[in-house]
Structure 1
Amino acid sequence: MSHHRLFAQLAFERALGLAALNALAQAVAEGDQFRAGGRDRDPPHFWVLAGELEEVVQDRIRDVLDGPGLAVVERGELFHQPRIVELVIAARDARNAPS
């Protein structure tokens, strides 16, 4: 494989990983925003929607773990988003923990 092709592949994988991480960060922010404004909502409706938003966050975490996003986190490229790093690392450790 040529050097150019290798660098292009690495750049593509990094971009894919960053896209998954950005989707995770957006899902977390939307969940936080919903919970912050949710005090005025009907309690059962609020908790159903909050649960659905948490499912979206968990789906995005799986996307990061199953794709190149984990490598981006492990290389320390997401130092400016410590909460996202914490979520991903905790999920990775939980996934790798012996049952």
Structure 2
Amino acid sequence: MSHHRLFAQLEFERAAGHAALKALAQAVAQSDQFRADGRDREPIHFWVLAGELEEVVQDRLRDVLDGPGLGVVERGELFHQPRIVELVIAARDARTAPS
């Protein structure tokens, strides 16, 4: 493989990782916003919707862990989003912990 092709592949993977992390950050922000604004809702509806939003966050976390997003976090490129880094690292550690 030529150096140019290798560089292009690495940049593509890095961009895909950042895209997955951006989707995770958006899902977390939406979940947080819902929880902050949604306390006035009927309790059963609030908890059902909050649970659905948490499922979305977990799906995005899996996307990060299964794709190149984990490498972005491990290289320290997401230093400006410590909460997202903490979520990803905790999910990684939980996934690799011995049962």
Q: Normalising to structure 1: TM-score of the pair? A: 0.99
- Match status 1:8 vs 2:27: no
User: For residue 36 of structure 1, what is the amino acid of its counterpart?
Assistant: A
Residue of structure 2 in register with 1:63 after alignment: 63
| Matched residue, 1:81 | 81
Residue in 1 that maps onto 2:35:
35
Counterpart code for 2:63: D
User: For the residues of structure 2 that align with 1:39 and 1:7, how far apart are their CA atoms?
Assistant: 48
Deviation at 1:39, TM superposition (A): 1.4
1:95 aligns to what? 95
What per-residue deviation string (whole Å, max 9, x for no partner) do you get for residues 11-57 of structure 1?
00000000000000000000000000011111100000000000000
Runs of at least 5 residues in structure 2 that lack an aligned partner in the other structure: none
How much identity, in percent, do the aligned residues show? 88
Counterpart residue type for residue 98 of structure 2: P
Following TM superposition, the consecutive aligned residue runs of length 4 or more in structure 1 with deviations greater than 6 angstroms are: none
Q: Distance in 2 between the 1:38 and 1:8 partners?
A: 44
RMSD: 0.3
Count residues with an aligned counterpart. 99
The one-letter amino acid of 1:49's match is: L
